[in-house]
Structure 1
Amino acid sequence: MGITKVVIVDDEALFRELLRRTLSAEPGIEVAGVAESGEAAIPLVRETKPDVVLMDIELPGELNGIEAALRIKEETPQIGIVILSAHSDRRYVTSLPLDDSQGWAYLLKQTVPDLAAVVRAIEGSKAGMVVLDPLVMAGLRPRQGSVVASLTRRQQEVLELLAQGYGNAAIAQRLTLSEKSVETYINAIYQALHVSDEPGIHARVKATLLYLQSAQNR
């Protein structure tokens, strides 16, 4: 898989240092730099050329986290962005520019101690996926009458794990299924949602965005 270079952008020094130390100890991840504002992040990203930027949604200065991330994406469209937030409400997630977009993750700061979830967000955004925090997903349910609500309970479980950045093997392990069964469920989900791989956008991204669009807070 190779080394994944990341930059951390957060104005809270203690949190920034905690995240830096945690990720520096993770095999396969290199922390290329840290910044405390959006204005400082942009030249740092130009200099260090990371694969992924972990960006606080609320930053001091002229640029908030979303605005800084968009500036970075304009210069380097393939870069992954992990938005760090204290807000689990759906309206904060949908404030991200996710329409037909790729390489974004939304991660709650309280999830950071769950290193596996952080790594899924980093690697998923690097791969061009859209990854949602597991605690955010736990607080959502499909609206009655939506296409996602028409999926079977098992199909919804598989889709929720897809949206959290799990691969097929990990989904199979969590749900005690064979990988072949997981592939069958995923194909059925794609068919029901009328999504498929197209140049420039992955079917998993489309399925995740449809889930988010059809969801409401529990």
Structure 2
Amino acid sequence: MSAPSHQPIRVAVVEDQPLFRSMLEHTLDSSLGLETVVAVGTATEAARAIRPGLVDVAILDIDLPDGNGIALGVTLRRRMPGLGILLLSAHDAMDLLLDLPPDVAAGWCYLSKNSSTSEEVLVGAVRAAAVGETVLDPALLARMTPRAGSAVARLTDRQYEVLRLLAAGLSNSGIGDKLGITEKSVQNHVNGMYATLGIDSDPQRNPRVSAALRLLEQTGPTN
């Protein structure tokens, strides 16, 4: 799903609030290796403007005046299987990723609109979407706890920390820096986490994407 390395990641922004859409455009165009090529406010405009070969990643507001970003994303992905999708919402609707049709479910990212105002978080999610990875909103993840009896609940405290940072889009190196441990230690925790979660080395599936979705599926908000 990655864009060619010699050109910037081409991004479409579909957001009905003009001021917020302008903010997203400015952040993206100010970031090295990113370029906004489409900026529209409705699903109808997006379906017309986002064409094969033009866009690498589509940032889609879930709530649009003439539809919703999830249905639009499904339509676009079926038309362009390599398109990265980053959903934005003013509300916590992250669990909607679990209801995506199987044929288009891989490699969607999700941020709240609050988190998307962080350049680091937004740009990181766009870059992840461009290569088919799944990034979940780090602020929302911080408020989640494992459901009793789930595989995620059987993880050690350190493995759960690693899983949450992995789902937020950090590399093993980035996780190591965050936790103050070596990259080799991170990989050991990742391997143990995969074993507990039952994630195998299926070449057809990205294990980091599978782990992020397992986290989303087996956790809930704190009371």
Could you say whether these structures have the same fold, taking a TM-score greater than 0.5 normalized by the shorter chain as the test?
Answer: yes
User: What is the aligned partner in structure 2 of residue 210 from structure 1?
Assistant: 214
The structural deviation recorded for 1:208 is: 1.0
Determine if the alignment matches structure 1 residue 183 to structure 2 residue 221.
no
User: What is the aligned partner in structure 2 of residue 39 from structure 1?
Assistant: 44
The total of aligned residue pairs comes to 217
Which of the residues 6, 14, 27 maps onto 1:9? Answer: 14
Determine if the alignment matches structure 1 residue 163 to structure 2 residue 167.
yes
Determine if the alignment matches structure 1 residue 132 to structure 2 residue 136.
yes
Question: Deviations 1:156-215 (Å, cap 9, x if unpaired)?
Answer: 000001111111111111011111111111111111111123233201111111111111
User: What is the aligned partner in structure 2 of residue 173 from structure 1?
Assistant: 177
Note the 1:83-94 alignment, pairs <5 A. 83-88=87-92, 91-92=95-96, 94=98
Letter in 2 for 1:31: T
CA spacing shift, 1:48–1:90, aligned 2, 3 Å: closer
The structural deviation recorded for 1:94 is: 4.1
Q: Does structure 1 conserve the Cα–Cα contact (< 8 Å) formed by 2:98 and 2:213?
A: no
Q: Does structure 2 conserve the Cα–Cα contact (< 8 Å) formed by 1:132 and 1:165?
A: yes
SS in 1 for 2:149: coil
Q: Which runs of 4+ in 1 moved over 3 A?
A: 89-100
Determine if the alignment matches structure 1 residue 58 to structure 2 residue 63.
yes
Determine if the alignment matches structure 1 residue 142 to structure 2 residue 143.
no
In structure 2, stretches of 5+ residues that fail to align are none
CA spacing shift, 1:205–1:91, aligned 2, 3 Å: closer
Note the 1:58-77 alignment, pairs <5 A. 58-61=63-66, 63-77=67-81
Distance 2:97 2:177 in 1: 28
Letter in 2 for 1:27: L
TM-score by length of 2: 0.91
Determine if the alignment matches structure 1 residue 199 to structure 2 residue 183.
no
User: What is the aligned partner in structure 1 of residue 35 from structure 2?
Assistant: 30
Higher mean displacement: 161-170 or 88-97: 88-97
User: What is the aligned partner in structure 2 of residue 82 from structure 1?
Assistant: 86
Distance 1:198 1:69 in 2: 26
Q: Does structure 2 conserve the Cα–Cα contact (< 8 Å) formed by 1:89 and 1:217?
A: no
TM-score by length of 1: 0.93
Distance 2:201 2:37 in 1: 32
The structural deviation recorded for 1:98 is: 7.1
Indicate the percent of aligned positions where both proteins have the same amino acid.
Answer: 36
The structural deviation recorded for 1:22 is: 1.1
Distance 1:36 1:23 in 2: 17
The structural deviation recorded for 1:48 is: 6.1
CA spacing shift, 1:52–1:18, aligned 2, 3 Å: same
